[in-house]
Structure 1
Amino acid sequence: MTDLKLLALDAEDLAVISAHVQDAVVRVPDMGYSRGDKRFALLMNRYDWTSAEKRSKGLRKRSGLHFNRVESVAYAGFDPASPEGVLNLLAITFLPSADGVSGIVELAFAGGGTVRLSVECLEARLGDLGAAWAAAAKPEHALD
């Protein structure tokens, strides 16, 4: 299985990354903001949706995602200092400002948690970091 490496410079690119990280499991201590570097990064165990076609439960891979040119970060719906917190990532979206370049990147988690990144411009990178392992279950979502 080939390691995934993606770059997002606009909302369409970010939608591709969002699709690949849907249902990723993220430990709260595995995400953080480096103000000096203007970078927000997180590690995750992403569900590999492409492997689900070949295996009944699919695979998970350890992956890293970071955003550059981050001016500020806001957390809502969970305690960002929780050493035991675990979140399920649902989607990542970009809401551009009037200038069309800067804006807000929003990471939406199950249960209503969000991380909002104020960015000078959109620049995100996703990369797999190691071997895959069998997923315990295939994520499912109820259709309301």
Structure 2
Amino acid sequence: MTEDARFEDGGERPLNLGALDAEDLQVISALVQDAVLPVTEIRWQAAQRRLGLLVNRVRWEDVDAAKRSGRPVERVQSVLVVDNVLGVSSQGVDRSDKNTVLQILAVSWEAGDDADGFVVLTLAGDGALRAEVEALEVGLRDVTRPYVAPSRKLPDHDA
């Protein structure tokens, strides 16, 4: 008998996830919610048809365990990669200001006519990145050890 994976199954191991459909992408979206990144950590590699972002994400999969044990909230650097990219557009993102820090609110899928469509990264402050893709393929991989979030708190959406 097989069971679905649970957040607890990940433990302290780094995440390495892929999304090939809209349902999978919802999992990645939940894990990168409130991730922050400097605008300088976005790379569009046209020749490789790849959009990559180095993000500092909340370790949502560890939040309940941290609360129970009294540990502070942790973040981890992760690479969010969108493959099969035909083009990238943005709204409300000033790439010329190298000090700009972006916050990801959600990652969503807008299906096209066939396997094509758009991967949309909704950002705080009415910003967005939109990658036109030939087919949905998104990856999320932790690349550092977790670290204590500088604020030591979860993001507050009521403020």
Structure 2 length normalisation: TM-score?
Answer: 0.85
For 1:72-83, list aligned pairs within 5 A.
72-83=87-98
For 1:84-103, list aligned pairs within 5 A.
84-99=99-114, 101-103=115-117
Aligned length: 142
**Residue equivalent to 1:46:** 57
Q: Is the 8 A contact 1:104 1:119 kept in 2?
A: yes
Q: In 2, Cα distance between the equivalents of 1:3 and 1:123? A: 20
Cα-to-partner distance string for 1:25-58 (whole Å, 9 max, x where unaligned): 1110000201111100000100011221122441
Consecutive unaligned residues of structure 1, counting only runs of 5 or more, are: none
Aligned residue identity for 1:89? I
Cα-Cα RMSD: 1.3
- Quote the sequence identity (%): 37
More strand by share: 1
SS in 1 for 2:48: coil
Q: Is the 8 A contact 1:29 1:81 kept in 2?
A: no
Cα-to-partner distance string for 1:106-142 (whole Å, 9 max, x where unaligned): 0001101100000000011110001111122211212
Q: In 2, Cα distance between the equivalents of 1:29 and 1:41? A: 11
Structure 1 length normalisation: TM-score?
Answer: 0.94
Q: Higher Cα Rg: structure 1 or 2?
A: 2
Q: In 2, Cα distance between the equivalents of 1:80 and 1:116? A: 15
**Residue equivalent to 1:9:** 20
**Residue equivalent to 1:27:** 38
Give 1:92 shift: 0.2
Cα-to-partner distance string for 1:50-91 (whole Å, 9 max, x where unaligned): 221122441100100111110000011121232111011000
